[in-house]
Every structure is written in structure tokens, then in C-alpha cells.
Structure 1
């Protein structure tokens, strides 16, 4: 994508991402229907009054879709931010400090990557609140990969001309890392953050679907899938709608992070 068509596509993707995130986080404000209220018999198919029918307890599925994305989306965004921040900090330090530190960080990353993130999340979810468990598991699963990428990029630019100029100006190491090295990694970090969001979404969805996260009867897209699966033959929308909502959120985040990250990279190269 180049020129005007490329910029139009980027704007379209940015708008789509903003719209999907806004719906997930603030969709509850688009309906005045109580998501906990019983409005008809269980498993009522879609009709004029309940556009997506009702669930296992006769609650309106559409209103629960409006309400069900806020917690899992917010937790995923925060967990991904924590994972990316830890990974970027470790990667900058490793890449700047030299080969020995870089190898040590890489070895530590290998050890963390050997630990299944879902297992960490499930174990922690039994003892601590779901958001804490998801953040910790996402950091364990994601920050090692981020650190590796950032370390390689930082090592490559350590002897670049603009870094030498910053040294000659007398800039401190934190200043060089924050003002010179980090901005050059923006494209990679943007793409990486999107991947961390998807990992966090998978974790929070798994924990919620197993009943270790958002407590019933509060609506949650992941919980809605397991709650309504047994009635899929009577009202498939009760199961399919939250699954589509989750898939749409993950897909848009993945496409946006990759596309916007590539656009930033082209901007830097230009």
C-alpha cells in the first residue's frame, strides 16, 4: 500500500480498531436493557423483541453482548502493556550492555518460555484475582519474546552514527536509550503489543470460561460461550454471538497492530 490508498487503508484500520475497542469497553452505555433481567423463557430464538434471543436463564443475549466485553478487554490491554513494558526495558538493557548480558537475557527468556502461560494463569487465578493472574501470565509468556526482539534491534543500532553523535553531546545512557534508541523501535513494539493483547485475550477468556474469572451472573463474552453451549440447538445465537465478538476483537487488533506497525516502519525508513 502506497500513497493515498495506503493512507486511506491505515485510517480505515485505525477507525475500525477504535470502534471495536470502544464497543468492547463502553458498549454497556448503548443499551438500557438490564443484562441480568429475565425477559423471556430460556433459549428463546431471535425475534423482534430479543434480536439475539435469550440465554439459559432467559436473559437478553444482545444486552449481555453489549456488557460482556469491558472487563476482558480492559484486562487484556493492561496485561499486554505490562508485558511489553517489561520486555522493552529488559531488551534495551540487554542490547545496550553487550553480548554477555544479551546472552544471559536470552537464556532467561528461554526458561520463561518453557513455562506454559495458561498453566501459570490458571494456578494464579485460584489464589489471586483474575486481572492479577492474567497480567502475571502474560508477562511470563510475552515479555521474553519482546525482550529478544528489542535486544537484537538495540544491539544493531548501538554503534550507529546518531548514537555516536548523542555520546559526543554528552547525553546520559538513559537519555540515549529513551530519546534515540527507543523511538527507532516503535514499529516493532507496536506490532509486538498487538500480539501481547491477543495472548492476554486468550488467557483471560480461558480463565473466565473455566469459571475462575468474572463471577456469574455478570456478563462476559467468554463465560457466555460455556454457559450457553448446551442450548446451541435451541438458540445458537447465544453461543455464536459472544464467540464472534471475541474473534472480531482479536482479528481487528492483530490486523491493526501489524498494519500500523508496518506504516511506522515505512515512515522511519523514509
Structure 2
């Protein structure tokens, strides 16, 4: 039987990671390809899809397609900022607790337990009363996500502390910060990247929830979550006005979650 050569299969988890990265890169560019300005009135309210508006119009007669193409930039930007803050603070706390142990670890555990006692969405709602929507999302994601990151990083950094390369660096007289940055952090990059995906999904969910409740971006801003609350009254007249923003919002959450899961699998396989 003749042998057939097959192309090598892509590494496991590459497709979700590539898809998530592509979405993060393309969403900010959508507004430049929109056929109309997001706040331009082009037809009567709740016009059904047609030649003038491929997805119809919303409550104010604005093009739904143009608003969807322009509506994800701020949502993802705020979520990325919130996830970055949570991962950085959580990683710093986890490294300190895992390396020092003792009273430092107990203090970090106490702080994490205190912050995790309050649900993230409840915390975001309370903060949104006194802070702007974007700031409330960042602070709520930081206070609810950093403790989870800290626990994951602490467990692994405490394990790495006894590794041969770490001991060698300590015996060479390197400072603690240098050991953590050059020896411990590189070994944690896969774990931190996987956790960052989860923090991003959580931040996106918090930002969307606040926007739907009217505590995020305000009209006439084009925002996927805000469009859900704006177009709910006319769902029977033009269902696409409600369905169109819901699809990319749910799709981004799913892709980011799949990417985080793929990174987790790759990290576990490498251990």
C-alpha cells in the first residue's frame, strides 16, 4: 500500500487562541468599515432589514449593522484594562505569598478570603453608584479577580521555590526580586496567561452587565450591551436589532473562554 504524506496537525489549542487574538484585533477596526456613522439616522425606527440597512434600524432609526461594527471597542478595551490590572496585582500577591510564606502568606490568604466573600457583580453594582462605569468595572474586576490569581500563582511559586535553578540563583547571591523575575516568573508564564483569559471573560461579563443595567456607557454611545437594553422594546418589530449585538457579545465571551481553556490544557501538559 503506498504511503501518503499528511500535513502535520496544528498544535492543540492553536485554533481557539488564534481566533480569540483575531477577534481582539479586528473588533477595534470594525468602526472604520461601517457603512454609516453609528449615530446617524437613516430610516424610520424599527425598520426591518433591507437594502438601506442590512440589519434594519433601532429605536432611533440608526443603522444596526453600523452600530454593531462600532460597538465592541470600548467594551473590550475596558475589559482588557480590568483583566490586566487583576492579573498584575494577583501575580504580585501570589509571588509574595508563595516565596515568603509564614505571616505574609497568612495575610494574603486573609485578604483574598475577605475580597472573595463579596460577589463580583454585587461589588460592581455598589461601585457603579459612586464611580463611572468603566472605573467600576476595572475596580470590581481587580478586587474580585486578583485574589483568584493570587491563589493560583502562590501554589505554583511555592512549589518552584524548591527547584534546582531557583536554589542555584539564591546561592549565587541574587536578590529576591531578580530571582522572582528571572527564574520564577518565566516558569509561570503559561499559568498566568491561562488565568488572564479567565479574568478577561469575567471583566467582559461585568462590563456587559453594568451596560445593560444603564450603569455603563450612556446613549448615544454604540455599545453591544447597551444596544440590548435600548432595542428590547422593539424586539418584535425588528428582532435583528436585539439579535445582532447579542451574537458578537456571546461569541467574544465564548472565544475568550475557549482560549483560556486551551492555555490551561497546554500549561498542564507542559508540567
Bin for the TM-score computed over the shorter chain: over 0.9
Q: Is the 8 A contact 1:23 1:66 kept in 2?
A: no
Taking the aligned partners of 2:256 and 2:72, their CA distance within structure 1 comes to 14
Q: How does 1:1-12 map to 2 (within 5 A)?
A: 4-7=8-11, 10-12=13-15
Match of 1:243 among 242, 246, 258: 246
Structure-2-length-normalised TM-score: 0.92
Query: Which residue of 1 is the match for residue 113 of structure 2?
Result: 110
Q: Deviations over 1:119-173 (max 9, x none)?
A: 2222222222222111110011100011011111111111111111111222110
Runs (5+) with no aligned partner, structure 1: none
Match of 1:205 in 2: 208
The question of 1:75 aligning with 2:78 is answered yes
Q: Distance in 2 between matches of 1:91 and 1:152?
A: 8
Task: Report the CA distance between 1:240 and its aligned residue.
Answer: 1.0
1:146 to 149, 152, 159: 149
Matched residues in 2 for 1:164 and 1:198: separation?
36
> Which of 221, 225, 228 is the aligned partner of 2:231?
228
Partner of 2:4: none
CA displacement at 1:50 relative to structure 2: 1.1
Structure 1 residue 257: Cα displacement? 2.1
Tell me which stretches of 4 or more aligned residues in structure 1 moved more than 4 Å: none
Paired with 1:17 and 1:225, the residues of 2 have a C-alpha distance of 23
Residue 23 of structure 1: aligned partner: 26
Aligned length: 265
Return the match for 1:88 from 91, 94, 108.
Answer: 91
The Cα RMSD (Å) is 1.7
Give yes or no for the alignment of 1:252 onto 2:255.
yes
Q: Which residue of 2 aligns with 1:48?
A: 51
The offset of 1:32, in angstroms, is 4.2
Contact kept in structure 1, 2:28 and 2:73, CA below 8 Å: yes
Q: What's the CA shift string for 1:40-78, capped at 9, x where partnerless?
A: 111111112211111111110000001110101000001
Counterparts of 2:165 and 2:117, CA distance in 1: 38
